[in-house]
Structure 1
Amino acid sequence: MKILTLAGVLGLLLPLASPALAATPAAPAALADTEAPWVAAWATALQPIPQRAELPPLYRAPEVAGRTVRQIVYPTVSGHVVRIRVSNEYGRTALVIRGLRIARSMGGASIDPARDVSITFGSKQGVSVPAGANIESDPVSIEIAAGTPYAISSYMGQEQTMVAWHRVASQINYVSSPGDHVADASGAGWRQRFTQYAWVSGLSVEAPGATTIVAIGDSITDGMRSTINRNQRWPDELARRLAGEREQSIGVVNLGISGNRLLSDSPCYGEALEKRFERDALAQPGVRAVVLLIGINDINFAAMPPHAGLDCDYPHTQVTAQALIDGYRRLIAEAHRRGVRIYGATLTPASLPPQREAIRLAVNNWIRTGGAFDGVVDFDGALRDPAQPDRLRTAYDSGDHVHPGDRGYAAMAQAVPHAVVAAAAGK
């Protein structure tokens, strides 16, 4: 994962016209994770936006050039010092942010001006992130309360476009009228709304002794078809469960991407999980345990008919249970090299035809009995209809027979065994 301190960025930047963005030699933007007790409190996985002349409405990014973008995030660990990660992972030109602030959200696009601080990079108010790079901000002091919404506002460069996002955020975010509105407390002027995250890919807090569980996978981890703006994804429910169990020092971050596959890239659904695993999961500060739920799209997309124009299911790769198992083994080895425990989640029912259902069952049997994972999270057992085990329980079905609804996601959170929590706590 290419994460730069500001000193690293300085050697790559082109000269900038704005003095606020001009770079001068400075101390690194943040201490390395081995030198300070940083822990991931919130994160999201970005994916490139398809670059085509004609795109369906779902893939058209909002206009952000010279405007302010306000994004709402919910940290899962409390602390008094925060830093923000900004990503230009999929950019082809520099990502220019002329001002960045974090504030306590008061609902909608409004913020509390008494709890609003500027985010800096090498003590500068703006930053230009080179194509393909990520950068951590300076640490700044602000009271972060787990489970509470915070607004991250970024005033974008005059030529900036959105080329990457997290498409299914299940969260309403906001774009202002033209101009610098990062410090605006009122939500009245934020006319444009969008339901993605962009360029802000992580929020970490200084929290000695705290650790993080990473949830990574596809749309069922991403929380597709959960209630928007309500944080009803299963990782959200797990974070609430841990808070209720007085495990406040363990955060949960969600790196699911809807449509994602273990083995194949997609024009719409991001890089294959095995390619993004180190960056999106293992590089999170404070990660001690990973819950992996991936593979149903690998099984399904081969059967999807090709589409003219934007074919999000391309390539329509045929997979076997063994190919998925081999992919899991590679991720397990990668996690273990980093000293991180990894828990395999069984693939949930999806009303599949017999040939594809046979692959799902073979994969689940290996996850349960193969002994390669550090443990098993039996989401299949938690969600399946006992009378028809290839289907979701009716009470847990969102209505499409693939994705759980809010009640189903809550049941998934309860199915995470305490061994995962103990691993995250270092026990």
Structure 2
Amino acid sequence: MRAGLSRVGGLSALLVVAAAVQVTPATAAPPAPAGRHDVVTWGASADRVGDAVADRSHRLIVRTSVAGDNLRIRLSNALGDRPLTFDSAYAGLRKSGAELVPGTNKRLTFGGTHSVTVPAGATAYSDPLPGRLPAAADLVVSVHTRTAGGPATGHGMAMQTSYAATGDHTGEDGAANWTERTGSWFYLDAVTVRTSAAVGAVVALGDSITDGWQSSGDLNRRWPDYLARRLGATDGPVKGVANEGISGNKVLADGAGQSALNRLDRDVLSHPGVRTVFLFEGVNDIKAHTGVTGADLIAGYREIITRAHRAGKCVVGATVAPFKGWSEWDTAAESVRQEVNQFIRGSGEFDAVTDFDRILRSPYDHERIMPVFDGGDRLHPNDKGMQAMADAVDLDSLRCDRTSTADVP
């Protein structure tokens, strides 16, 4: 790491504080002092990641975006079919691999106790952990489940190496017992910090391109990572970035994870401090050849816009990128893509638009991704493409301010 480690002094002084916590599908944070609020600094969409294993520890590596204090983690049993008890949880900063910076690994509590039982379909926040968490830091969250079974909730394609072990090793700074590597995140789906009420976050709702497939693993080169670096280098009010992409995900239909429509509340609107939803999804609906029309997909976009606006969030729409050369491409799918992109660009129903299609497409064939941006499969951008996407986002479009209309008839 690196860059984050030069700013670890605040976290090394963290102390655990008891605070009440509810266990519900969308737990709310406790009230913040005037002028401050909680903001999501990292997020990952919940999906099924195999079966839960008893007496198992997971050491999860995640990259923060916005800095703040009073760190809280959110544990998810959203896809579980029975209650799941976490009897130990810690958070600290990474030195390298599975090893932590000495003195930073601090125990988390839940309602003042060391354990929490999360019902099936629910999430639970930890109590706030005082001390400052820097931006662009490798945060290490370690959890242990003594008894577990049924479907495990997590995020399958993390593009980040995390670690696992048999037995409870969550409180250890060293890496000796963390011999198993995994490319998935288990149970953790969000990290929040407390910061100025003027600071907010953007949530990227998408599929495998947002999830980072074909970007370089363990280097945080997904396009939302590049966007977080841009935001961190400015004086603007949007600092937090949560990546809520799922590989293979669709707007309309469940399959590779719950559809964007069905996971919108949990994966996006439930996070604190969110100002803007960045919607970049639809290619999987189009290329699946299930009869989805442009009108169908546009109706799905409109529902997301309406629900986000009711929650007081702005919505930036991104055009669907070219994918000619991918095995499922044909002229009928291309026609739907063009119809959908025309709506995104010209309808005026989004608060702003980012034209990823124009950024990524070849100047010689607008139906193909530009070779210099192609990750190799004619669909997913490489690191250069990911950076070009992030650079195309107008940062002012993320600094949106809406009022919730949830109670308006």
Deviation at 1:183, TM superposition (A): 1.5
Is 1:113–1:183's contact at 8 Å kept on the other side of the alignment?
A: no
CA distance in 2, matches of 1:167, 1:34: 37
User: Equivalent residue for 1:182?
Assistant: 170
Name the SS for the 2:186 alignment partner: coil
User: Equivalent residue for 1:199?
Assistant: 187
CA distance in 1, matches of 2:377, 2:53: 34
Is 2:88–2:115's contact at 8 Å kept on the other side of the alignment?
A: yes
CA distance in 2, matches of 1:227, 1:371: 35
Structure 1 residues 69 and 128 mapped into 2: Cα distance closer, same or farther (>3 Å)?
same
Q: Which of residues 362, 384, 387 is equivalent to 1:407?
A: 384
User: Equivalent residue for 1:423?
Assistant: 400
Deviation at 1:7, TM superposition (A): 6.0
Q: Which of residues 331, 344, 363 is equivalent to 1:354?
A: 331
Is 1:235–1:254's contact at 8 Å kept on the other side of the alignment?
A: yes
Is 1:213–1:424's contact at 8 Å kept on the other side of the alignment?
A: no
Q: State the superposition RMSD in angstroms.
A: 2.2
Structure 2: 5+ residue stretches without partners: 1-18, 404-409
Is structure 2 residue 126 aligned with structure 1 residue 153? Answer: no
User: Equivalent residue for 2:13?
Assistant: none
CA distance in 2, matches of 1:232, 1:34: 35
Q: Deviations over 1:15-68 (max 9, x none)?
A: xxxxxxxxxxxxx9940579860000001101124xxxxxxxxxx56x742121
Q: Which of residues 81, 95, 102 is equivalent to 1:106?
A: 95
User: Equivalent residue for 1:288?
Assistant: 275
User: Equivalent residue for 1:278?
Assistant: 265
The percent identity for this pair of structures is 37
Is 2:77–2:118's contact at 8 Å kept on the other side of the alignment?
A: yes
CA distance in 1, matches of 2:386, 2:68: 27
User: Equivalent residue for 1:299?
Assistant: 286
Q: Which of residues 243, 260, 277 is equivalent to 2:232?
A: 243
User: Equivalent residue for 1:72?
Assistant: 61
CA distance in 2, matches of 1:115, 1:251: 22
Q: Deviations over 1:292-314 (max 9, x none)?
A: 01110001112xxxxxxxxxxxx
Q: Which of residues 303, 306, 312 is equivalent to 1:330?
A: 303
Q: Which of residues 101, 109, 113 is equivalent to 1:124?
A: 113
Deviation at 1:180, TM superposition (A): 1.5
Is 2:250–2:284's contact at 8 Å kept on the other side of the alignment?
A: yes
CA distance in 1, matches of 2:171, 2:392: 42
CA distance in 1, matches of 2:366, 2:148: 53
User: Equivalent residue for 2:315?
Assistant: 342
Is structure 2 residue 358 aligned with structure 1 residue 381? Answer: yes
CA distance in 2, matches of 1:367, 1:34: 39
CA distance in 2, matches of 1:349, 1:40: 31
Listed as ranges, the matches of 1:203-282 within 5 Å are 203-208=191-196, 209-247=198-236, 250-266=239-255, 269-282=256-269
Q: Which of residues 346, 363, 366 is equivalent to 1:369?
A: 346
User: Equivalent residue for 1:39?
Assistant: 39
CA distance in 1, matches of 2:186, 2:315: 28
Name the SS for the 1:329 alignment partner: helix
CA distance in 1, matches of 2:374, 2:137: 28
Is 1:211–1:425's contact at 8 Å kept on the other side of the alignment?
A: no
Structure 1 residues 160 and 105 mapped into 2: Cα distance closer, same or farther (>3 Å)?
farther
CA distance in 2, matches of 1:281, 1:291: 10
Name the SS for the 1:326 alignment partner: helix
Structure 1 residues 154 and 330 mapped into 2: Cα distance closer, same or farther (>3 Å)?
same
Is 2:323–2:367's contact at 8 Å kept on the other side of the alignment?
A: yes
Is 1:103–1:112's contact at 8 Å kept on the other side of the alignment?
A: yes
User: Equivalent residue for 1:309?
Assistant: none
CA distance in 1, matches of 2:247, 2:317: 18
Q: Deviations over 1:246-277 (max 9, x none)?
A: 347521110011100000001xx111111111
Letter of the structure 2 residue corresponding to residue 318 of structure 1? G
Deviation at 1:380, TM superposition (A): 0.5
Structure 1 residues 333 and 9 mapped into 2: Cα distance closer, same or farther (>3 Å)?
closer
CA distance in 2, matches of 1:161, 1:82: 29
Q: Deviations over 1:84-110 (max 9, x none)?
A: 111111111111111000001111100
Letter of the structure 2 residue corresponding to residue 118 of structure 1? R
Deviation at 1:418, TM superposition (A): 2.8
Q: Which moved more, 1:156-165 or 1:293-302?
A: 156-165
Structure 1 residues 283 and 159 mapped into 2: Cα distance closer, same or farther (>3 Å)?
closer
Listed as ranges, the matches of 1:54-73 within 5 Å are 60=50, 64-73=53-62
Letter of the structure 1 residue corresponding to residue 307 of structure 2? E
Is 1:69–1:153's contact at 8 Å kept on the other side of the alignment?
A: yes
Is 1:29–1:121's contact at 8 Å kept on the other side of the alignment?
A: no
Is 2:86–2:146's contact at 8 Å kept on the other side of the alignment?
A: yes
Structure 1: 5+ residue stretches without partners: 11-27, 50-59, 303-316
Q: Deviations over 1:121-167 (max 9, x none)?
A: 01101111111111111111132111010110011123356522211
Deviation at 1:421, TM superposition (A): 3.1
Deviation at 1:417, TM superposition (A): 1.2
Q: Which of residues 82, 86, 109 is equivalent to 1:97?
A: 86
Structure 1 residues 422 and 353 mapped into 2: Cα distance closer, same or farther (>3 Å)?
same
Is 2:201–2:240's contact at 8 Å kept on the other side of the alignment?
A: yes
Structure 1 residues 7 and 182 mapped into 2: Cα distance closer, same or farther (>3 Å)?
closer
Is 1:64–1:175's contact at 8 Å kept on the other side of the alignment?
A: no
